[in-house]
Amino acid sequence: MAQLFDRIALIGIGLIGSSIAREIRDKQLSGHVTISTRSAETLKRAEALSLGDSYVLSPAEAVAGADLVIVSVPVGASAAVAQAIAPHLKAGAIVTDVGSTKGSVIAQMAPHLPETVHFIPGHPIAGTEYSGPDAGFIGLFKGRWCILTPLPGTDEAAKAQLRAFWESLGSNVEEMDPDHHDKVLAIVSHLPHIIAYNIVGTADDLETVTESEVIKYSASGFRDFTRLAASDPTMWRDVCLHNKDAILEMLARFSEDLAYLQRAIRWGDGEKLFDLFTRTRAIRRSIIQAGQDTDQADFGRHALDGKG
Ligand code: NAP
């Protein structure tokens, strides 16, 4: 594949950053990749995995001369990273991120970044419940959506270049208003994770059913929630804190609908239950038809399953 950028700087080299690094290396999308991460330990691991061409702890040093800067850290760390890299960015560089929330990332980063760079926030809708540089793999973004949330007036050529980058990783790219992104992701990603964390926590707190029973009989449904509930605690703490309004709005709707379901069960209203369960089954079929999952019986447990 053709080289898209002379120099790329990757700030953060966990699941997402290292998957991007592996793709760049595999497809030779850049002449030089500099990797920066917070800890010396992770940096050493990235080097051992040969994920880039040079390795530095300082994000400021990493971005010097880079044409594309990709920030892949927990969303709560966005302001500090933007502040650290801002004075060292090359004029004309594209600065993007992969954070799961967009309004908050823009509010944290935009005020620090110079007008000489193109800041184009992004979010690949792909991931797993694993973290760190060893967790990344080639193919993570293939057939998945990557949402860009550019600010008004963003340079069209820079947008096209970033779009081409994600497309070369196999993603389908869509543009969205940041607020809308945060609402959509609240229902498709953030709420399911919160529900999973909650149900697994509830099971853990039960006194009448033992932990060994929960684990022993987990294949009856519980197991599918535990995959989501095993996701990175730092990442998900930050998502909850940084998409607060949209999540609270969706949680309110969810609680209302749960009360409706509770009532139907209490009053033995089988018709209501049957209607809802029929409607929801059709959604699952649409997801499979859209190529966002397979109908294999091991749903949720195969390595290439995407979420985010
Ligand atoms: P990860 O595997 O846990 O890696 C996190 C990276 O950020 C590591 O390089 C880590 O450095 C660094 N980091 C952690 N805390 C930091 C801090 N306070 N300041 C600066 N750097 C810090 O995380 P990930 O899954 O790749 O997620 C990265 C971003 O992608 C998040 O914003 C997340 O919302 C988004 N995202 C995740 C998924 C998913 O499913 N995981 C999907 C789509 C988008 P050290 O290891 O050196 O400490």
Domain(s) labelled CATH 3.40.50.720 in the chain stretch across 5-176
CB 176 within 8 A of CB 148: yes
Domain 5-176: CATH superfamily, name plus number:
NAD(P)-binding Rossmann-like Domain (3.40.50.720)
pLDDT at residue 298 in the model: 59
Ligand 1 centroid to residue 86 C-alpha, Å: 20
Ligand 1 centroid to residue 17 C-alpha, Å: 8
Q: What is the pLDDT of residues 44-60, one digit of tens each?
A: 999 999 999 999 999 99
* CB of 93 closer than 6 angstroms to any ligand 1 atom: no
Domain(s) labelled CATH 1.10.3660.10 in the chain stretch across 180-304
Q: Tell the residue nearest (CA) to atom 22 of ligand 1.
A: 73
* CB of 37 closer than 6 angstroms to any ligand 1 atom: yes
Segment 67-81 shows an average pLDDT of 98
C-alpha span between 119 and 250 (Å, rounded):
29
Q: What is the pLDDT of residues 5-32, one digit of tens each?
A: 999 999 999 999 999 999 999 999 999 9
* CB of 214 closer than 6 angstroms to any ligand 1 atom: no
Ligand 1 centroid to residue 219 C-alpha, Å: 30
* CB of 306 closer than 6 angstroms to any ligand 1 atom: no
* CB of 67 closer than 6 angstroms to any ligand 1 atom: no
pLDDT at residue 297 in the model: 65
* CB of 73 closer than 6 angstroms to any ligand 1 atom: yes
Segment 137-142 shows an average pLDDT of 98
* CB of 240 closer than 6 angstroms to any ligand 1 atom: no
pTM for the model stands at 0.94
Q: Is the pLDDT of residue 128 over 80?
A: yes
Q: What is the pLDDT of residues 150-190, one digit of tens each?
A: 999 999 999 999 999 999 999 999 999 999 999 999 999 99
Report the share of the chain in percent with pLDDT over 70: 96
Ligand 1 centroid to residue 12 C-alpha, Å: 6
Segment 249-255 shows an average pLDDT of 97
* CB of 84 closer than 6 angstroms to any ligand 1 atom: no
Mean of all residue pLDDT scores within the chain: 95
CATH no. of 180-304: 1.10.3660.10
Q: What is the pLDDT of residues 293-302, one digit of tens each?
A: 888 765 445 5
